[in-house]
Amino acid sequence: MHTIIKIILATIMIVILFYGFLWILPSKEITYMPDDALRSYALSHGLAPVPTTYKKLLDIVDNPNNPLSPAKISLGKKLFFDPILSHNMSVSCFHCHLLNDGGDDNLPTAIGFGGRANPRHLNSPTVLNAALAKSQFWDGRAKDVEAQAAGPMQAPFEMNITPKEAENRVKKIATYVENFQRVFGKKNESVTFKNIQKAIGAYERTLLTRGAYDAFLEGKNSAMSDSAKRGLNLFIQKGCKGCHTGMSVGGQSLQHFPLRRVLSDVFENRPFPFENRGGFLGKDGKNVFRVPILRNITKTAPYFHNGMVTDLKEAIRIMSKYQVGDEFTPVQIHDMVAFFKTLEGELVSYDVNSSTDVDNSD
């Protein structure tokens, strides 16, 4: 009995010491790097500009199990916008992923088929640059955009269609059948649910955006304001880029959130520093989430997996406090917003010309 009490007390002491130590650690001093040093630091630490040519795009996003071709991309584009892929022909992918407005729906939680809300109150992430991510969904449960596409079509609260129903719908439209045969070759069986996923995925692989940040990384110093450059300095030196990394500035790993707990949250048993609406706790219910993509973040409010934070400044404050343990000052938050503005971008219109049209992969 005594030993048990001792073990419990010792554990409590260790927890208090550990968290106490984290909070007492002095915050890191920032030395703002000049433009060239900032650029080469960013480029040598996993950040990269989005390519402008189709050839370079292929080097980065082409999928050996779903080779890109101009005809496949254009077929995928038609399907992405087509509500026939929902049971009552009212909801397309575009319904929740507005390509001209940040690639999401600007709602706290997604509203799909028949006005149904996402049962876990999940926020729609952007589809822009999603193909650059290493996994898809808030808990990373789909490995790529092709696999991902099967989810929303079948979800009763999104498009609510069965694979058979989707195939039959597409088969009724002669131009679709022609296009599927052109792209996937096999005469009779080219309209399959899997090929619908592949075509949509191929289109999504071309949905990359470029902004002022890309121009800066390519050498144009004037592309970013001094405030935005200070924001990028902070982003790198305070450790944000440790998680929000890669060409997409996110999407590369699954991470704990919140990483650091404050005692009041622990005592109140609150899993997040915002309302736990929907009750979703990430992968395996362990507060582990696929790190969101920050390109176009200024256009994808509200924030976090359940859309419970509407203000970008508040999202940044939460991240600085809970993920890097160094709560930003209002000036630092202002600079971070200025940096995030440079991640806003336009869809690159890739000159899709060369390459073969027939996909003979299975």
Residues forming the site for ligand HEC (CB under 6 A): 91, 93, 95-97, 110, 112, 118, 122, 124-125, 127, 130, 133, 136-138, 145, 148-149, 152-153, 158-159, 200, 238-240, 242-244, 251, 255, 257, 259, 289-293, 297, 300, 303-305, 315-316, 319-320, 323-324, 336
CA 67, CA 73: separation in Å to the nearest integer? 10
CB nearer to ligand HEC: give 124 or 209: 124
Buried (b) or exposed (e) across 130-151, using 16+ Cβ within 10 A?
Answer: bbbbebbbbbbebebbbebbbe
CA dist 237 → 27, 28, 289, 294 (Å)? 11, 8, 23, 17
Q: How far is the CB of 38 from ligand HEC (least distance, A)?
A: 16
The distance of closest approach from Cβ of residue 13 to ligand HEC in the complex, given in angstroms and rounded to an integer, is: 26
- Shortest distance in whole angstroms from residue 302 CB to ligand HEC: 8
State which residue, 143 or 220, has the beta carbon closest to ligand HEC: 143
Which of these, 355, 86, 71, 352, lies nearest to 195 by C-alpha position?
71
Write the CB contacts of 285 (distance below 8 Å, at least 6 apart in sequence).
none
Q: How far is the CB of 264 from ligand HEC (least distance, A)?
A: 19
| Unique residue bearing structure tokens 């121009």 | 215
Q: Based on CB atoms, which residue is closest to ligand HEC, 208 or 336?
A: 336
* Number of residues assigned to the chain: 362
Q: Which of 102, 338, 142 is nearest to 228 (CA)?
A: 338
Set 146, 158, 167, 204: catalytic member: 158
Spatial neighbors of 332 by CB under 8 A, at least 6 apart, are 234, 320
Angstrom CA distances, 106 to 99, 109, 144, 212, stand at 12, 9, 23, 23
Q: Tell me, yes or no, if 158 is annotated catalytic.
A: yes
Backbone φ/ψ region at 258: left (φ over 0), alpha (ψ -120 to 50), beta:
beta
Residue 309 contacts by C-beta under 8 Å, 6 or more apart in sequence?
274, 302, 303, 315, 318
Nearer to ligand HEC, 57 or 153 (CB): 153
**Nearest CB to ligand HEC, comparing residues 298 and 358:** 298
With respect to ligand HEC, which residue has the nearer C-beta, 39 or 244? Answer: 244
Rounded distance, CA 48 to CA 218, Å?
9
- Nearest distance from C-beta of residue 186 to ligand HEC, angstroms: 23
In the complex, minimum distance from the CB of residue 332 to ligand HEC, in angstroms, rounded to a whole number: 9
Looking up tokens 């993509």 gives 293
How large is the C-alpha radius of gyration of the chain? 23
How far apart CA 102 and CA 106 sit, in angstroms, is: 8
Q: Which residues are catalytic?
A: 158
